[in-house]
Amino acid sequence: MTASKDTISARLLEWYDVHARTLPWRAPPGESSPDPYRVWLSEVMLQQTTVAAVKPYFAKFTERWPTVDDLAAAPEQDVMVAWAGLGYYSRARNLVKCAAAVKKLGGFPETEEELLKLPGLGAYTAAAVAAIAFGQRAVVVDANVERVVSRLFAIEEPLPGSRKTIRVKTDGITPDRRAGDFAQAMMDLGSGICTTRDPKCLLCPLSSDCQALKNDNPARFPIKAPKKIKPVRQGTAYWIERDGAVWLEIRQGTGMLGGMRSLPDDGWHSGGDGDGAAPVDADWEQLGLVRHTFTHFSLEMSVLRTSIQSDLAERIGQWWPVAEIDDAGLPTLFAKAARLVLARG
């Protein structure tokens, strides 16, 4: 039988006090709560992204915009460029909106209920900020917590259907005090001990309570529904050079990669294979394909190159020095295209 809530939380917090990861947005166990701005920023960045990938972005953001008021005053385009490469670009657009709302309020609200009213804050982020930054009792469930709890209680229902049960079980073991440390302890346990493959059960502070381990198959959990095969779209990107510069455009709207600099393309992002016309009438050189996977589909994008002498006055964009293309803040897909072009000389 699984141990009581108090036993599990006490055992995990005792482990966390010794083994907590040192992360730039965290306060060590036992110290004052961290700056809510840093907690919020890190949690937004960490959605669908690894800690290793987030660290340099977090350092860059907090150096350039050290407070939420600084970020609120930043032009959205600057934030989008700084975000380039992290993906899920709606998060970057919502950063500026949320920062402006927080500035107007005079600071971050302290409760889940009020945090949920901020632009772009979902249930997970609101719970994480409330617990970690303000010491509120909140139930924080990320992918690591899903894995730990699924194994701890041997939850047979497949994800994503089991998420309601996982939340109920997590609520049942979340302590009234140190809920933020408990949430971070669960994350650290899932990241370093209760890993997706080859969990290190001999090192786990909760091994004596783990129902999956008692059944001798912890790696079986969490059970996942079969993945749907992602459709593959086709598209084309155009590299247009003139006098050592390449033509870049700002993508319109708030949809896919909206607000980002990019190469001109044939409209593949509008919902199907690209069928738009080339941006200029020219002789195009076919350089090859780049591939990229989005949340709901994969893309195979041909890259075509040409050189021109005329301007592109009828199009909205700018000539960007090819030698400085790394500073353009291109999304990962178009950065891949740029690397292909440069590799072909």
Lookup result for tokens 């032009």: 75
Separation between Cα atoms, residue 39 and residue 173, nearest integer Å:
23
| pLDDT for res 1 | 42
Per residue in 151-194, pLDDT (tens digit) is: 999 999 999 999 999 999 999 999 999 999 999 999 999 999 99
CATH of 5-220, one of 3.40.50.620, 3.40.50.300, 3.40.50.2000, 1.10.340.30: 1.10.340.30
| pLDDT for res 270 | 62
* 115 vs 310, residue with greater confidence: 115
Q: Are 96 and 74 in contact (CB under 8 A)?
A: yes
Per residue in 223-233, pLDDT (tens digit) is: 998 888 889 99
| pLDDT for res 170 | 97
Per residue in 107-118, pLDDT (tens digit) is: 999 999 999 999
Active-site amino acid positions: 43
Q: What residues contact residue 314 under an 8 Å CB cut-off, 6+ apart? A: none
Choose among 340, 286, 318: nearest CA to 278: 286
Choose among 80, 1, 18: nearest CA to 250: 80
| pLDDT for res 57 | 96
Q: Is the pLDDT of residue 16 over 60?
A: yes
Separation between Cα atoms, residue 122 and residue 288, nearest integer Å:
40
Per residue in 85-104, pLDDT (tens digit) is: 888 888 888 999 999 999 99
Q: What is the mean pLDDT of the chain?
A: 92
Q: CA Rg, the chain, in Å?
A: 23
Span 11-40, mean pLDDT? 95
Choose among 15, 39, 12: nearest CA to 182: 12
Per residue in 280-301, pLDDT (tens digit) is: 888 999 999 999 998 889 999 9
Per residue in 324-334, pLDDT (tens digit) is: 999 998 999 99
Q: Which amino acid is at 323?
A: A
The CATH class that applies to domain 232-343 reads alpha beta
Per residue in 188-208, pLDDT (tens digit) is: 999 999 999 999 999 999 999
Choose among 91, 82, 90: nearest CA to 255: 90
Q: Is the pTM of this model over 0.85?
A: no
Helix (H) or strand (E) holding 211: helix 211-214
Q: Are 274 and 303 in contact (CB under 8 A)?
A: no
| pLDDT for res 275 | 55
Per residue in 247-263, pLDDT (tens digit) is: 999 887 667 777 788 99
Q: Is the pLDDT of residue 234 over 70?
A: yes
Per residue in 58-82, pLDDT (tens digit) is: 999 999 999 999 999 999 889 998 9
| pLDDT for res 211 | 95
Domain positions in the chain are: 5-220, 232-343
| pLDDT for res 253 | 66
Confidence of residue 302 (pLDDT cuts 50, 70, 90): very high
